[in-house]
Amino acid sequence: MTGGATVPRLVVLVSGNGSNLQAILDAYASGQLAATVVAVFSNRARAYGLERAELAGVPTRVCRLQKGQPRREYDHTLAEGVSHFRPDWVVLAGWMRILTSTFLDRFPDRVVNLHPALPGQFPGVNAIERALDAYRKGEICHTGAMVHLVPDEGVDSGPVLFSERVPIMPNDDLKTLEARVHSVEHRLLVATIKNLCGRGVANERVAI
């Protein structure tokens, strides 16, 4: 662990609601997770995840893309801000920007992303909606959720840490399927962090 801390330090990046951030905060508060969120960053000033962090007493930072700002310059600024908090792990929990190597190379093998679909399926936005459409066309019988490392700029790809199938029911609509996928994501993300932190060596590539 960096900085000689005994409790692994997490910096969480969010862009919106932050229910996955909440799952991490709750797991820590209830003693189920021995890893603490030391800061929450958002690229959107109005992300509800920021309020969740503030309620939990966690420092927040907003890092907005300036008009015309090059991606790598933005990622450099973001990386500077994040590294200030000396994270053992950087958790992308609903972070809706692709990070370049300018950011990722600062935290090698320490950036973790959550995606609401199985590995290789429906990368990018609206994954749950696209899975429901595919189910209705008879192309898939279930969907899932996964947590993976982010080694490069690939979208929702990278070494898989945990994944789990999520059933789709014939009478599902987007709302019911989203609720089912999200509840699996919350559990999966906490379990993954627990597992990563249990290993104790942040810079070691993991394969679960």
List C-alpha distances in Å: 184 to 119, 122, 167, 192. Answer: 15, 17, 11, 12
Rg of the chain over Cα atoms, rounded to whole angstroms, equals 17
Name the residue with tokens 């799952």.
23
Between 125 and 164, how does the x/- string for binding to ligand GRF read (CB under 6 A)?
----------------------------------------
Q: Is 148 a catalytic residue?
A: no
Burial class (CB in 10 A: 0-12, 13-18, 19+), 81: middle
Closer CB to ligand GRF, 82 or 93, in the complex:
93
- d(C-alpha 22, C-alpha 28), whole Å: 10
Stretch that binds ligand GRF, among 31-39, 78-86, 99-107, 108-116 (CB under 6 A): 108-116
Binding to ligand GRF, residues 39-58 (CB under 6 A)? 49
Which one of 84, 115, 142, 182 is the catalytic residue?
A: 115
**First CA to last CA distance, the chain:** 19
Closer CB to ligand GRF, 14 or 27, in the complex:
14
Residue 126 beta carbon to ligand GRF: minimum distance, rounded to whole angstroms = 10
The backbone torsions φ and ψ at residue 73, rounded to the nearest 5 degrees and listed phi first, read: -70, -45
Site for ligand GRF contains 18 (CB under 6 A): yes
Tell me which of 8, 87, 116, 158 binds ligand GRF, using CB under 6 A.
Answer: 116
Site for ligand GRF contains 114 (CB under 6 A): yes
Instruction: Classify 39 as helix, strand or coil.
Output: strand
- d(C-alpha 61, C-alpha 50), whole Å: 8
Site for ligand GRF contains 17 (CB under 6 A): yes
Closer CB to ligand GRF, 1 or 65, in the complex:
65
Contact residues: ligand GRF, CB under 6 A: 14, 16-20, 49, 93-94, 114-116, 182, 185
